[in-house]
A and B are shown apart, each in its own frame.
Chain A
Amino acid sequence: MTARQMKLGAFLWATGHHIAAWRHPQAHVKAGIDIDHYVALARTAEAAKFDLLFCEDAAGLREADVSIASQTSRSIGFEPISLLSALAVQTSRIGLVSTASTSYNEPYGLARTFLSLDQLSGGRAGWNLVTSASPIEAANFGATGLRPHADRYERAREFAEVVTRLWHGKLGASGHDGQSFSVCDPLDLPRSPQGAPVMVQAGASDVGRDLAARTADVVFTAAQTFAEAKAFYDDLKGRLAAYGREPDDIKIMPGVAPVVAETEAEARAKYEELQELIPDDVGVALLSSYLSISDLRRYPLDGPLPELPESEGMKSRQALVIEQSRRDGLSIRQLARHFAGARGHWRIVGTAVQIADELQARFEGGAADGFNVMPSYFPGELDAFATLVVPELQRRGLFRREYEGRTLRDHLGLKQPV
């Protein structure tokens, strides 16, 4: 039996994860309207033997302020389920995971759509369950305000339960008649080639962790330090027993935003080049949105982060940012610039050896089962990771050289659901 190996996701995001990526000379600026660009990225990731492609999603603009929105590339992009359906037939092995919200969908339709993606791809689909936290999205669905955090998660719990029963053919003759949803019929599609599409979650709040422990196969998370990552890992794995599950039934894959080059100096220069492209307005607006505060610009840019009330938005990300501002004594401007590179995810700047060292330390230290890789701009930084870091991980025996199986569950080493 081979030693435990890390799982790698290629986290796609139009021009790149860095907020100013689209302005980089080597970023493909039309990524959000170019399907061929995505086909090429998918093939790069598959050739590098990544476990999966990951698409996040929001059903609305990202910025409330139109002037800020117009200075980023984030207002347009592909709807991810149609994007991954196209990529399904242009690839043969790599997993295809899309985000979809439990807030603005119905379980019957969503279960059916993901099962269809699973059939098109021969058992490579995954659903990243999120509960939408953005008031901008809410306004596209008739909501007068965002639902409270706990309500969103109760709806998500019922949603996940119905989807799982539909996928497993376990919706009985009486159907489902619950608090938020009712469904009367089983799905009209055949059973998934991998038993059921893979269930992914990203929420890291207390209720989010419980939901993940109950239903998820994979958990994405954001953690800056080893200690944070380790604490999250131990906490979540520790919750599994209560649901009759084994620690290995969930793969925890924190986000990592690498900036890699042949030398450390080159990597640092590359990172600084990107940082120089961030307008302060854009950086601060992005930070504001993740802190669920309307506008941080009314505070002095070079002063500290003000005291903030606990949000109804992304609780865990808010806590992470506040913690970092205190730990590192950063001003709003510094924090915004730091945050703009990877939205609070772990960033490593260095050579392939340095990056592999860091990944190995978290993987072997029991803080991760793998990583969701967030290239700063596309296609260059995905290429760099594939050609520099992946071979280094393979040399160390930490990552596969060939796919072991056909389905996403095969890649992740997950049991087929019964």
Chain B
Amino acid sequence: MHLTVSLNIASTTGQAGALTFSDLAGFAQRAEAAGLDMIVLDDAPPGRAGSGNPFEATTLLAALATVTSRIGLVATASMVAHQPYNLARRFASLDIISHGRAGWNATMAQAPSEAANFSRPDGFSSDEFRRRSEEYIGIVQGLWNGWEADALLFDKDSGRFHDPGKMHQLDHKGEFFAVRGPLNVARSPQDTPVLVLSGLAAGDLDIAARTADVILLDERQAARRKARHDEFRRRVSASGREPNAVRILADISLAANGVAGLADRMEEEFRANNCDGFNIRLSAHISALDDFTNRVLPELRRRGVIRQSYGGTTLRSHLGLSGGGDR
């Protein structure tokens, strides 16, 4: 069972009001000590002035990467707020800074009023947003693959820094973007940063099946989760990928469940193959993590449904995904 925790910074408070970096560093370190696969850093949609919480998710990820060593770090970043070339660079760089622990959470849901802050006052229609998102994700993943794993030579004597035959232009020209590439950041230590997709509507499932490494299912009911899970697995296979190439994590909220019955419910759903694990949504107080790690985790560990400790060092290795790292 994979376990991640998602932190809505905008709605979260520390011990006494607004969060400080050291609150968040402490949170990440506790989550790492508990052996969680990753933290998903949500990003407040624009227009919520005065939330009182000071960090944008990708900059926060870079900072947290320097105070942790094993846990995966996933930042939410919007496809409206960034150009694909810039976003691909940011995450490629974050992956090198974190030694292969970075992931990008791309939300497929259009945030209200966001486009209006980015010189698109009319926003995008749902269909346009979906086509644009698919094109965008393809560009980012293509850029991440622009450098072959052994492209860098570092040969001082011959004066060959890299092998030009192993650096590839993308030459993308699509409906919304034209991007030549290649990226000016080296290949990721885990080949590509992990792509997490969330906010999926029914019409997004095929895009996710083709591109995602992880999907976050926010379906609340267990029966519907099962149906969504099975449907999604079929589509992953239909897209030509191994059915297990994507991890499906079901959102679960501590507050709604209490600690007592949580381990039972998680084990039951996991064994019923409703999901590959859970994304624990924390809000309000980050100390809520302690309830989970001190009480629920030991129980899950005793039942043998989660691993005892990190086996590798990259996020892909924690998630059991193929790709680089730990080679």
Contacts and interface: CB of A to CB of B under 8 A. Distances in A.
- Asked if A and B are interacting partners, one says yes
Interface of A: 22-25, 29-30, 32-33, 35, 39, 58-62, 66-67, 69-73, 75-79, 81-83, 85-86, 88-90, 104-106, 108-109, 112-113, 115-117, 119-120, 136, 139-142, 175, 177, 180-190, 277, 279
Given A109-B81, A181-B119, 16 more contacts: A23-B156, A32-B186, A58-B184, A61-B182, A77-B185, A79-B89, A85-B59, A86-B66, A104-B85, A106-B118, A116-B55, A116-B59, A140-B85, A184-B116, A188-B46, A279-B159
A188 B97 contact: no
A141 B152 contact: no
A23 B93 contact: no
B179 A140 contact: yes
B1 interface: no
Given A66-B164, A71-B160, A116 B60 contact: yes
Given A184-B116, A187-B49, A81 B185 contact: no
Interface in B175-225: 177-182, 184-186
Contacts of B178: 139, 141-142
Given A70-B164, A78-B97, A183 B83 contact: no
Interface residues of B, number: 64
Given A71-B159, A140-B85, A188-B51, A89 B182 contact: no
A351 to B, nearest CB: 28
B267 interface: no
B52 to A, nearest CB: 6
B117 A116 contact: no
A248 to B, nearest CB: 30
Contacts of A184: 47, 113, 116-117, 121
Nearest to B180: A139
B159 A73 contact: no
Nearest to B181: A140
Interface in B59-84: 59-63, 65-67, 81-83
A188 B186 contact: no
A82 B159 contact: no
A67 B164 contact: yes
Contacts of A104: 83, 85-86
Contact of B48 (A67, A117, A177, A188): A188
Interface string B106-125: 00000001001111010000
B315 interface: no
14 contacts: A30-B154, A69-B162, A70-B167, A75-B167, A86-B65, A104-B83, A108-B117, A109-B82, A119-B55, A120-B63, A142-B178, A184-B113, A187-B46, A188-B10
Contacts of A83: 62, 93, 97
Contacts of B152: 33, 76
A181 B90 CA distance: 23
A66 B63 contact: no
B275 interface: no
Contacts of A117: 59
Contacts of A185: 46-47, 49, 113, 116-117
Contacts of B99: 35
Contact of A79 (B18, B56, B185): B185
A105 B60 contact: no
B121 A182 contact: yes
A113 B56 CA distance: 6
A78 B179 contact: no
A66 B21 CA distance: 42
B58 interface: yes
B44 A188 contact: yes
B161 A22 contact: yes
B90 A81 contact: yes
A39 B65 CA distance: 13
A390 B4 CA distance: 48
A23 B159 contact: yes
Given A22-B161, A71-B161, A76-B184, A105 B86 contact: yes
